[in-house]
Each structure stands twice: as C-alpha cells, then as structure tokens.
Amino acid sequence: MQDKTIQFNTNSDGTDTAGIRALAKASKIAKKYNISDMSTDEINEEIAESRK
C-alpha cells in the first residue's frame, strides 16, 4: 500500500531566508494542530469543505 502523505525534506546550506523560515513556521503550525500527517486526500477534502 502506498503512503499518500506529502513528504519532503529541505536541504540547505544554512542560509537563513524568508522561504526557509516560512517552511519552518508552516511545519511548526502543522505539528501544533496535529495536521502534519494528513494525506493528500484528507487535504483535498478539507479544501472542498471550506469552499461550500
């Protein structure tokens, strides 16, 4: 069975950029609200519900 979660790693030379900070903040927020392991199907369902 294939895991449908979106997984990615960031590789950086340590340079602090706005983009890296944004990804780190988004990751922290996702963990705080226990949504960091949502599948793409679950994400799409949430988006569809919010558009109703």
In a domain, 42, yes or no: yes
- Considering only CA atoms, which of 32, 23, 28, 30 is closest in space to residue 5? 30
Residue 2 in any domain: the answer is no
Q: Which of 40, 46, 45, 35 is nearest to 2 (CA)?
A: 40
Q: What is the C-alpha separation between 29 and 18, in angstroms, rounded? A: 16
User: Domain limits at 29?
Assistant: 18-50
Residue 10 domain flag: no
Contact 38, 5 (CB under 8 A): yes
Q: Is residue 38 part of a domain?
A: yes
Q: How many domains does the chain have?
A: 1
Residue 12, in any domain of the structure: no
Around Cβ 47, how many Cβ atoms within 10 Å? 9
pLDDT category at 35 given cuts 50, 70, 90 is: confident
pTM of the model: 0.55
- Mean pLDDT for 33-39 is 85
Residue 7 within any structural domain of the chain: no
Question: What mean pLDDT is reported for the chain?
Answer: 82
How far is 42 from 51, CA to CA, in rounded Å?
A: 14
